[in-house]
A and B are shown apart, each in its own frame.
Chain A
Amino acid sequence: MTNLQAMDPRLSRFDPLERVFFYDDFDEGIRGWSELIGNYEHTLDSMLPEYSDMRPPMLSNLTMWDTGTAGSMEGSYALKLATRARVGSLATSIKRQTFRKRGQIQLECYFTFKPEASELRLSLDDVRAFGVLFDLQDGMNPEFRWMPHLRYLNAVDDEMINRWQVKGQTRPFHDIGDSGETVSHFHLGPENWDFVDCPAQTLCYNEIATKMNWHYLKVNVDLTERRFIGFQCNDLVYSGEALKHISIPAMPNLNCMLNTAFWVETNRDKRAFLYVDSVLLSGEF
């Protein structure tokens, strides 16, 4: 245990790199996690439709209709993403930062996910997927914008999948509006996901929709070499070949971008929820 972790017991459940860049305990508020929205010009109608409704995050105390309030993993409140009750609906929340040095970065969080408890049944396959992504661009003299995506595909229709996936390609860019200054691309569609070369992982769903068990997730990325190094979820550790990521030419006004986003997708006409408490980004800064 490092001195830093010894000084603050809340950090003892994390394994941060040498400097903590942000540590978000949602008892303190929303901490910069905002709704993701697509680019637009003049009117919201110019937005790519997939980005039009990615739902505002909220602070939840995990109150259930049958057992009342559970609270978050530590304290009262967690960050909650909630889809609409419409199959394929996504909720996405993003924290927008920049970096000052290209080095390794590491995201750690504790999460849990559930469908809305609107039916008295198992509901195991009602959440389609959840995930985390980075949206990054080099700093001085940038060559690339690049976007490591990692998602847990829980179920598709009536089939349980329970596998981790990464994405190597986004959709084509579209011009937005008429000025020639704005473009957009949608990168969270169902296409171009590849299974990670690791076993299926059944997470701790715990029998009914009102019981939440928190899970650990760690994602490692190297900004210097633009490599998606690996990840860990509970006792599953992936440290094989570098994982695929989306790579596109650098864009005009994104230098040093370090965005982190979580999302959840529903598999039914029922709301799907992702809860996060807490999130720690560390790095070689």
Chain B
Amino acid sequence: MAVRRSYTAIVERDVLWEGEFASEPYEAAWASEAIFFVRALNALAITTGDGGLETGTARVQLSADGIHWVDEGTEIDLPVSRDEVTFCRVRHFGGWLRITGNVPSPAEIRVLVSLALKE
């Protein structure tokens, strides 16, 4: 029995996000499913209007060429405290994947972003 190929890329490691951000493009045409994991190595959250904490959101984007990007429709909240992990699942994405978004000032977050791919 052939097992399904899989690969996890650390697309960002120990990178500080403040304001607008986008992860580096990653080619994944061979894969049919993906999960973006975002782990906070450190986080400075801000308080929302209802008393919660936030560091912003990330949107999944697709690309046919790694240069021109379009929203896929999936969004995730970014983690708000150290070692918290958030994630999202994506399927049927074509060639390239990344996440992009905004960390509202004065929030900031130092991230490790893993992209887990499976055939």
The answer to whether A84 and B27 have CB atoms under 8 Å apart is: no
| Cα A29 to Cα B13 with chains together (Å) | 23
Bound-complex Cα distance A187 to B67 (A): 31
Residues 12 to 38 of chain B near chain A (Cβ within 8 Å): 13-15, 24-30
Q: Is A53 an interface residue (CB 8 A)?
A: yes
Bound form: Cα–Cα A65–B24 in Å = 18
Q: Which of B3-11, B52-60, B83-91, B99-107 sits within the interface?
A: B3-11
Q: Is A106 in the interface zone, CB < 8 Å from B?
A: no
B66 to A84, Cβ gap below 8 A? no
Indicate whether A11 reaches chain B with its CB closer than 8 angstroms: no
Q: B27 touching A29 by the CB < 8 A rule? A: no
CA distance A63 to B95 in the complex (A): 8
Residues of A within 8 A of B95 (CB): 61, 63
Quick check: B13 and A52 within 8 Å, CB to CB?
yes
| Bound: A30/B7 CA distance, A | 8
Q: Is the CB of A65 within 8 A of B41?
A: no
Interface residue ranges of A212-239 to B (CB < 8 Å): none
Contacts of B66 in A (CB 8 A): 63, 116
Measured between beta carbons, the chain B residues less than 8 angstroms from A116 are 66-67
Q: How many residues of A contact B (CB 8 A)?
A: 24
Residue A58, interface by CB 8 Å: yes
CB distance from A174 to the nearest CB of B (A): 18
28 A-B pairs in the complex with CB atoms less than 8 angstroms apart: A29-B5, A29-B7, A30-B7, A44-B13, A44-B41, A53-B15, A55-B24, A56-B11, A58-B26, A58-B27, A58-B28, A59-B27, A60-B27, A60-B29, A61-B27, A61-B95, A63-B27, A63-B64, A65-B64, A65-B65, A65-B67, A65-B68, A76-B30, A77-B30, A80-B27, A82-B25, A116-B67, A117-B67
A184 CB to nearest B CB, Å: 16
Residue in A30, A45, A56, A63 whose beta carbon sits within 8 Å of that of B65 in the complex: A63
A56 touches B30 (CB 8 A): no
User: For the complex, what is the distance from the CA of A266 to the CA of B5, rounded to whole Å?
Assistant: 31
Residues of chain A within 8 A (CB-CB) of B11 are 56
Which residues of A are in contact with B by a Cβ distance under 8 Å? 29-30, 35, 44-45, 52-53, 55-56, 58-61, 63-65, 76-77, 80, 82, 84, 116-118
A194–B27 Cα distance when bound, in Å, is 35
Measured between alpha carbons, how far is A56 from B67 in the docked complex, in Å?
18
> Which residues of A lie under 8 Å from residue B41 when comparing CB positions?
44
Chain B residues whose CB sits within 8 angstroms of the CB of A30 once the complex forms: 7
Given the interface contacts A29-B5, A63-B64, does A52 sit within 8 Å of B14 by beta carbon?
A: yes
Task: Check A118/B67 contact, CB under 8 A, given A29-B7, A44-B14, A52-B13.
Answer: yes
Given contacts A65-B67, A65-B68, A116-B67, contact A56 B29 (CB under 8 A): no
User: Would A56 and B14 count as touching, CB distance under 8 A?
Assistant: no
- Besides A56-B26, A63-B29, A63-B65, 8 more A-B contacts (Cβ < 8 Å) are A29-B7, A44-B13, A58-B28, A60-B27, A63-B66, A65-B64, A80-B27, A117-B65
* B10 adjacent to A56 (CB under 8 Å): yes
